[in-house]
Amino acid sequence: MGDDTGTGRDEALAKLARLRQHQRDGRRSPHKPLLVLLALGRMAAVGSSRLPWHDARAALGDLVAEFGPASNTSRVQGAAYPFTRLRTDGIWILDHDVPMDTITPLNATDAVGQFTADLESLLRSDPGLVASAARALVESHFPPSIAPDVLAAVGLDPDAVLHSPDAVPDPDPGSRRRRDPRWRDAVIQAWDRQCAFCGFDGQFLGATVGIDAAHVRWFALDGPDDLDNGLALCVLHHKLFDRGVLGIDTGLRLCVSTAFTARTPAGKAIYDLHGRLLQGRPGTLHPAPSHLDWHRDQVFKGQPLPV
C-alpha cells in the first residue's frame, strides 16, 4: 500500500508541476497556477479546496489583475478562464458542468470548484504536500522578489512554503535550467555595486547590502543569466520593477506607472524616478532591447506617467 500511495502522490504532484508547461514563447500565463495556489490556501486554512464561484470571482480576479500580465480582460472574465479551464488538466472539477470561459452560467448556478477527489485526499492526508506544491508553482511562475507576496495573497505562510524541504517531481528534469551562481556578483559589480535606478550603494562591514541582481526578463520565464539581462537594484526598486510599477523605455529612461499612488514623501519619491536615465558607470552593459521589450509587454502595468 505504501508504494501505491507514493505512486499516486508523485503522479498527482507531477500534474501540478506540469502547469508550468502552459508558458509559451515567454508569455506569462499564471491564471491556472494562481487558482491552484488559491485552492491550496483554502486547503491549509479549512482542510478543503472547495471554492464557490462567488468567492473565486472576486479573489481570483484580483489575483490575476495584481500578479498577472497587463490585460484588457475584465477581472471577472480573468477569473472565469482558469475556473473552467483547469478541468482539462485533470486536477480540478466543478459540481456541475458549465461551458468553458462563460460567465453567465457560473453566475446563475454559483458552481463550486475543487481538486479531484484523489488529489484532495492526498493533500489532506499530508499537509506538507500543500507547502511543497505551492512552492513549486510559485517558483515556476514568479521571481523570488514577489513570490512571498503571491503566497501571502492566497492565504499561505510564505516562510513555511518557501522553506519547505519537500520537492515536487519535475515533469521534464532533463530540460530544467540551473541558475549561474556567479551571475549575481557579476551583475552587481557591473553596475558598480549601486542601484541602477536611484544610486543607492549601501555597504555594511565592507559588503554590499540592500542591493539585488534583478533579471529584466524573469529567469522563470526563460530569462538568461547574462549581463545584458541584469540590473543591480535596491531591494525596494527590485520589487517595484518586478511588480510592474517601474519600467524602462526604449531610450533607457525609467517609467513609473500611472496605476501607482503614494501619499508620503518617501512614497512620492518614486515619482521622481520617472524620466531618469539608467545610472551606471561608463562601459556598463545595458539590458538588451529584447529583454526590455519583454518586460514592457509582460510585467509593466498601466501607462507611463506623462513626461
Condensed to tens digits (0 to 9), the pLDDT of residues 171-203 reads 555 556 788 899 999 999 999 999 999 999 999
Question: What per-residue confidence (pLDDT) applies to 15?
Answer: 79
CA distance 111 to 108: 8
- Domain map (residue ranges) of the chain: 2-171, 183-298
Out of 89-103, 156-170, 203-217, pick the least confident.
156-170
Residue 204's H or E segment, with its range, is: strand 203-204
- Tell me what percent of the chain is helix, strand and coil, each rounded to the nearest 5: 50, 10, 40
Q: Which of 300, 250, 240, 293 is nearest to 270 (CA)?
A: 240
pLDDT digits (tens, 9 = 90+) for 271-301: 999 999 998 888 899 999 999 999 999 999 9
* 115-133: average pLDDT: 89
Has residue 3 got a pLDDT over 60? no
